[in-house]
Amino acid sequence: MADEHNAEGSTPPPASGGSPEPPKEAPKPPAAKPAAPAHAAPKPPAPMAATPWEGELPNQIKERFGDQVSACSTYLGQSFIVARSDAVVPLLEFLKLEADFDYLVDITAVDYPSRPERFELFYILYSFTRNERIRVKISIPDGAQPQSAVSVHTGANWLEREVFDMFGIQFAGHPDMRRILLPEEWQGFPLRKEVSILHQDNRWVQENLGIESGQ
């Protein structure tokens, strides 16, 4: 008995207080966030080392579209045309009807938030007869509505919907401009750079799935 009492007395009471807090836990740094954004490059990287694209087709395009096409270049053997945003549908039409680029492979976008024209839109085209692949590239500011390519390539429908779903770029004249992969009432556009991979639309997840965010 006595031993037990002694032992109890010697140990500090667990909940009654009075004992000083262990010193280790007390000084916690207020916000020790490692928060390094994924792409915090200190200096802008060197631009793409593209070389001019020589040949019959680029000459034809330059002749036809003049200053609406700012460059025809090649990078690693892949040719691309940089065009003004309002010229893209006529350009696609020209390429389809007069240069046989009849297969629209893909439409996608890239977000550069620091640029005044923050989105680059890419149209990847292929020609069965030429066995050649080219890209058309345009830049648009946030909120701009580029013309939809559905009138030229039917297959652009879902591809443009996906670009809208992921980047929030509305296409003017698109027959069915809705989200395609995400739920209709989802907030935000996930492939924009300011959207973190860790923070999805928590409200939607909680309301519809009844769980905290999947992270």
> Which residues make up the interface to other proteins (CB under 8 A)?
38-39, 41, 45-50, 75-76, 78, 102-106, 108, 110-111, 122, 124, 128, 131, 133, 135, 153-155, 157-159, 162, 166, 179-183, 190-191, 195, 197
Minimum distance of other proteins from residue 27's CB (angstroms): 32
Of 20 and 183, CB closest to other proteins? 183
Two tokens, residue 94: 């020209």
- Among 30, 171, 37, 198, CA closest to 107: 171
**Amino acid identity for residue 170 in this structure:** Q
Our CA dihedral for 14, 20, 21, 23, rounded to 10 degrees, sits at -140
Minimum distance of other proteins from residue 180's CB (angstroms): 7
What is the spatial distance between Cα 5 and Cα 8, in angstroms, rounded to a whole number?
Answer: 5
Of 2 and 197, CB closest to other proteins? 197
- Among 204, 215, 117, CA closest to 169: 117
- 66 backbone φψ class: left, alpha, beta (φ>0; ψ -120 to 50): left
Of 86 and 100, CB closest to other proteins? 100
Minimum distance of other proteins from residue 188's CB (angstroms): 12
In the chain, the DSSP E strands lie at: 51-52, 69-75, 78-83, 103-111, 119-127, 132-140
Minimum distance of other proteins from residue 185's CB (angstroms): 13
User: Rg of the chain over CA atoms, in angstroms?
Assistant: 28
Minimum distance of other proteins from residue 38's CB (angstroms): 5
Of 23 and 77, CB closest to other proteins? 77
Of 62 and 179, CB closest to other proteins? 179
